[in-house]
Structure 1
């Protein structure tokens, strides 16, 4: 497995401090984020999942703890939209350039609005997908926020 992806290149280019961690990805896992947390031996609240949604038809990246679900109503309100829905996997792959299970908020094909769940900023370090199935980057959540120019908000159900 290559540890150099568009995501790790984007983080390096932004001058962010991060470490790369690999784990055995299980394509049959009920929850990719929870499986990653378990495989890494980490608290699911520190292993964040990257989800792609559509708010009023526009792509939005949303990052939440792997043991939480996104409130579509809160997400839409956060970005001044009326309605939100999860993006279908083929569309998420097309928009981001990453495969589902390996979608990273860093290094996507085109920058999109990004929202990070406020509770994620309570940790000194978090894990976020590094752009490949079975690859996570560990970094300070404030650095992730800054690199992504993300809006911080309460978006969990």
Structure 2
């Protein structure tokens, strides 16, 4: 994690997520792996291929809370609690957003949706469990590419709030 954003962006893949972090001067480490095109458990694959505890690898999910889209960032080792994300967004009901809508709004493909550098910046909530780790990994904007970053820097870059939105 000692690399500067600008050095990492030159050495690794350039995506809207890495461009955003570089512009903001936020340090991150690019982590690439060979994505299996038959794999559908994208977060689990990242944890396995990178040799990282799944509790430190976070997935980015789009939800519809009372008609408004929001981003939920939760560990791949668990699930999103829809009631908790609704409450965190001061709503009554949350449902998973349509995958095609998620791709259009973020500019990323499913399995590569990053909470960073999205086409349309949406309100973002990160699960509290991220704070227990020195660094976490989130999608870097394409399948087979993750970004390792401190939880505080992730929240800062996303303009995120914190809440207990994950469950085992």
Structure 2 unaligned blocks of 5 or more: 1-11
SS in structure 2 of the partner of residue 25 of structure 1: coil
The answer to whether the 8 A contact 1:56-1:81 is kept is yes
SS in structure 1 of the partner of residue 54 of structure 2: coil
Counterpart residue number, 1:84: 94
Matched, 1:122 2:132: yes
How high is the TM-score relative to the length of structure 2? 0.90
The answer to whether the 8 A contact 2:74-2:166 is kept is yes
Counterpart residue number, 1:141: 151
Number of residue pairs matched by the alignment: 156
- Runs of 4+ in structure 1 over 6 Å off: none
Counterpart residue number, 2:8: none
SS in structure 2 of the partner of residue 27 of structure 1: coil
Distance apart, 1:30 and its partner CA: 4.3
Q: CA RMSD in A?
A: 1.1
Write the distance in 2 (CA, Å) between the matches of 1:25 and 1:85. Answer: 28
Write the distance in 1 (CA, Å) between the matches of 2:117 and 2:25. Answer: 14
Query: 1:9-46 CA deviation, whole Å, 9 max, x = no partner?
Result: 01111111001010121233342111110000000011
How high is the TM-score relative to the length of structure 1? 0.96
SS in structure 1 of the partner of residue 55 of structure 2: coil
The answer to whether the 8 A contact 2:42-2:143 is kept is no
User: Which of 19, 26, 47 lines up with 1:37 in the alignment?
Assistant: 47
Structure 1 unaligned blocks of 5 or more: none
